[in-house]
Amino acid sequence: MANTAQEYDSVIHTCRDIFIKKMHDYGTAWRILRPTSLTDQIFIKANRIRCIEEKGISKIHEGISSEFIGIVNYALMGLIQLEQKSEVELPPEKITELYDSYFQKAKQLMLNKNHDYDEAWRYMRISSYTDLILMKIKRTKQIEDHQGDTWISEGIDANYYDMINYAVFALIRLLIEKENPGTAVPEKKGK
């Protein structure tokens, strides 16, 4: 699992770098968005990934990796908006602090689940991560439509964390396949 933690950190670094650079260019314009709008932005990204997976081609020369990075960053923005609930500008240092804090919580959740599930994510298809993210989006929209009220289920934040982790898994797998072309899903060996 040490390798998974390192791979996760590498993806965190990439996503964070893009987030910081976009914050430099655009400021925190996204702070005006309600969590529902951020959920819809995640949907747009995940839907594009699925369309590319199904069609096999893309007319825009941006691949699916950038869309998975977008999912990670929009989900982190969603977590920030759930906590901050305000359009009030926050200094970049505060935004970065919140971003890092939520990413670390997502990583810890992943490590805990990864322990219990024994790295099952490594044996999944990337398209399954896409489908799981789309399912989490549908769940999130349902909870949002109920103003966050659930009877038995986890809340919006739990779904954002899962979307982050599925997108990170996809990015790790895409990186591995890029570095080792022809790498297929490894076979799970019995214990």
Q: In terms of residues, how long is the chain?
A: 191
Query: What's residue 62's pLDDT?
Result: 87
Q: Which residues contact 137 (CB under 8 A, 6 or more apart)?
A: 39, 42, 43, 46, 159, 163
Instruction: Tally Cβ neighbours within 10 Å of residue 85.
Output: 10
Mean pLDDT split into 10-residue runs, the chain, 191 residues: 86 97 95 96 98 92 94 98 86 96 98 95 96 98 94 95 98 85 54 45
Q: Which residues contact 126 (CB under 8 A, 6 or more apart)?
A: 53, 64, 170, 173, 174
**DSSP code of 147?**
T
Query: What's residue 191's pLDDT?
Result: 45
Query: What's residue 89's pLDDT?
Result: 85
Query: What's residue 183's pLDDT?
Result: 55
Q: Comparing C-alpha atoms, which of 185, 179, 38 is closest to residue 102?
A: 38
Query: What's residue 176's pLDDT?
Result: 82
Which amino acid is present at 82? L
Q: Which residues contact 177 (CB under 8 A, 6 or more apart)?
A: 183
Instruction: Assign 2 to helix, strand or coil.
Output: helix
Residue with structure tokens 């934040």? 157
Query: What's residue 156's pLDDT?
Result: 97
Q: Comparing C-alpha atoms, which of 107, 129, 110, 108 is closest to residue 185?
A: 129
Measure CA 145 to chain center. 21
